Amino acid sequence: MSQTSSSDATSSSSSHHRSPTLLDALIPLLILIALLSLSVFFYGADSSYGPNQIALLLCAGVAALMGMKNGFTWKEMEEGMLHGIGLVFGAILILLAVGALIGSWILAGTVPSMIYYGVQILSPQWFYAASCLICAIVGLSIGSSWTTAGTLGVALMGIAGALGLDPAITAGAVISGAYFGDKMSPLSDTTNVAAAVTSNDLFLHIRHMLWTTMPAFGLALIIFAVIGLSSQTGQASAADIQQLLGALQEEFSISLMSLLPLALLLAMAWKKVPAYPTLIIGALVGCLIAVIFEPNATRQLAGGEGPLSLVKGAWHSLFDGYKSTSSNEAVASLLSKGGMSSMLNTIWLIISAMAFGGVMERAGFLERIVNWALSGVRTVGGLITTTVLTCFGMNAAAGDQYMAIIIPGRMFREAFADKGLHGLNLSRTLEDSGTITSVLIPWNTCGAYMSATLGIATFTYAPYALFNILCPLLAIAYGWLHFKQMPLGKQEQLPVAEEVRAQ
């Protein structure tokens, strides 16, 4: 009897929900765009450190009020927020593990060794291509395009100036490499967010991105090589690079043994061990390597002596990262990072964004907007193109790459499923457009940061950010050619090389 009454009550409640108009759906989104734009205007590159979160939570309230106007209760709106936040709990755990991993790997000398060996491939005759490749290696090792550009990128810009090379091309090469590394690194927060918002496994997401990312990066390297070989490079002076290498050797025991945590992580990823245990194990192995090979750095981080200081130092790296004591400012800035605490702001942003997305979805606003955006889309190519343009538009309107990943990711999930496409196609497209194009827009936090850090106007370096231009174009081309669009229900069980041989 009570069960029937409950069912009738639910049915009665649903019957009072009015279908939202397009204006209903757009009002919270337009207010969000206005507030995020104002946030960037007021706070610039710092807008993602609180102001954007406030804008998102305020607009979640606006969306809830609009939903209540259409017959929803506050409890239903609150449930929508909680449901949206619940979808990213797995991503939050991964982000915390990534923070711990970065801290322990720096302390263990893993990241410094990767940087040390990567920097040495620099060749004066291949400066632009080498700069791109070096930044890609460093970006892949630390998972941050901003840190890569703000440290190694600044040094490379200085070397380019001494050699009389074009600073705009150098900036484009630095940004291309940094964003390749950021996009493909399991340590990157945007990579984790794109996988989480589409409910995909992190390493399957990275593997599926290879099909657009590697050709785009390869083409960019070829073009940079051609530009470098056709210009006068002058007499190279690698003083800044040598200072960087010397500072790394002074603070850490650079050796191949330090790369053991990386080898272990890659092996576990290849064996398809889930992302969270892979990252946690990698972080703990980093602590072990630090205790064995970097006892001085570990004790210094702990601020004490004795056997227990080794435990304290390794523990500290997990929750608060590593603090470099190098007199070289570039090295100190590059290596002072990591720890779970470093991920708290990103987690704050994700929770705020998913609260907004959750209430927008529960009120039917996302469905209404998607139906409007897709009203003229009839093909897979049209869907991919619409997704790319939406992500680019969100980067321009909202001024933040996280918004360009999370909001379209929530909006287009059902559309991809309706076209019979696996969610990995959506997560790849989000990265090919949302992550990559943010740096091409001057008022976006990424564009503003790169312009200020490298000393080159965004519109000046944008034509030479080749990887960032080629990636979304390849994504669109793949969509229209129906190339490497994984069908719904299929998983990539074979390594890429085996899959190619099987075709």
**What is the CB-side half-sphere exposure of residue 72 using CA atoms within 13 A?**
23
Reported as type and span, the H/E element at residue 404 is helix 401-411
Residues with Cβ < 8 Å from 216, sequence gap 6 or more?
A: 467, 470, 471, 474
Tell me which residue of 228, 16, 63, 272 sits closest to 132, measured CA to CA.
228
Instruction: Please report the pLDDT score of residue 57 as a whole number.
Output: 92
Instruction: Please report the pLDDT score of residue 295 as a whole number.
Output: 92
Residue with tokens 């940087």: 115
Q: Map 113-155 to HEC letters.
A: HHHHHHHCCCCHHHHHHHHHHHHHHHHHHHCCHHHHHHHHHHH
pLDDT digits (tens, 9 = 90+) for 290-345: 999 999 999 999 988 888 999 999 999 999 999 988 888 777 877 888 889 988 88
Reported as type and span, the H/E element at residue 40 is helix 22-43
Tell me which residue of 360, 490, 496, 499 sits closest to 417, measured CA to CA.
490
Which residues share a beta bridge with 322? 337
Residues with Cβ < 8 Å from 274, sequence gap 6 or more?
A: 201
**What is the CB-side half-sphere exposure of residue 396 using CA atoms within 13 A?**
8
N-terminal to C-terminal alpha carbon distance within the chain: 59
Contact between 406 and 431 (Cβ < 8 Å) = no
Tell me which residue of 27, 83, 86 sits closest to 59, measured CA to CA.
27
Residues with Cβ < 8 Å from 11, sequence gap 6 or more?
A: none
CB neighbours of residue 484 within 10 Å: 15
Instruction: Please report the pLDDT score of residue 122 as a whole number.
Output: 59
The pTM (predicted TM-score) of the whole model is: 0.69
CB neighbours of residue 414 within 10 Å: 15
Instruction: Please report the pLDDT score of residue 45 as a whole number.
Output: 63
Instruction: Please report the pLDDT score of residue 467 as a whole number.
Output: 97
Instruction: Please report the pLDDT score of residue 121 as a whole number.
Output: 60
- Apex 123 CA angle, 229 and 187, nearest 5: 110
What SS3 class is residue 87? Answer: coil
d(CA 243, CA 158): 13
Contact between 99 and 238 (Cβ < 8 Å) = no
Contact between 450 and 171 (Cβ < 8 Å) = yes
Contact between 87 and 220 (Cβ < 8 Å) = no
Residue with tokens 């075709």: 503
Round the CA-based radius of gyration of the chain to a whole number and report it.
Answer: 24
One pLDDT digit (tens) per residue for the chain, 503 residues:
334 444 444 444 455 788 899 999 899 989 988 898 888 788 876 777 888 889 889 999 999 999 999 999 999 999 999 988 887 787 788 778 878 888 898 899 988 887 777 667 656 577 899 999 988 988 887 777 877 776 677 667 766 764 567 889 999 999 999 999 989 988 887 899 899 888 888 899 999 999 999 999 999 999 999 998 887 544 434 566 677 788 889 899 988 899 898 888 777 766 767 778 888 998 999 999 999 999 999 999 998 888 899 999 999 999 999 998 888 877 787 788 888 998 888 788 878 887 888 888 889 887 787 778 777 788 899 999 999 998 887 777 555 688 788 888 887 888 898 888 998 999 999 999 999 998 998 767 788 778 877 778 888 899 999 999 999 999 999 999 989 888 877 654 434 433 433 33
Instruction: Please report the pLDDT score of residue 502 as a whole number.
Output: 34
Tell me which residue of 238, 247, 254, 249 sits closest to 155, measured CA to CA.
238
